Amino acid sequence: MDKLKESLLEAPIVEKEGYHYFVHPISDGVPMLRPELMREIVIKIIRKADLDGVDKIVAPEAMGIHISTAVSLMTDIPLVVVRKRQYGLEGEVALSQVTGYAENEMYINDVHPGDRVLVLDDVLSTGGTLHAIVGALEEIGAELVDIVAVIKKVGGGNKVDEAGYAVKTLINVDVEDGELVVLDADGDG
When the pLDDT of each residue in the chain is averaged and rounded to a whole number, the result is 92
Per-residue pLDDT reduced to its tens digit, 147-179? 999 999 997 678 888 788 999 999 999 998 889
| Alpha carbon distances (Å) from 15 to 12, 18, 21, 61, 174 | 10, 6, 6, 23, 14
pLDDT recorded at residue 160 = 83
Per-residue pLDDT reduced to its tens digit, 37-94? 999 999 999 999 999 999 999 999 989 999 999 999 999 999 999 999 999 999 999 9
Residue 181 CB: number of other CB atoms within 10 A?
A: 14
d(CA 81, CA 61): 6
Query: Does the model's pTM come out above 0.85?
Result: yes
Cα 168 from chain centre: 10
pLDDT recorded at residue 145 = 97
Per-residue pLDDT reduced to its tens digit, 2-12? 999 999 999 99
Q: 15 forms bridges with which residues in the sheet?
A: 20
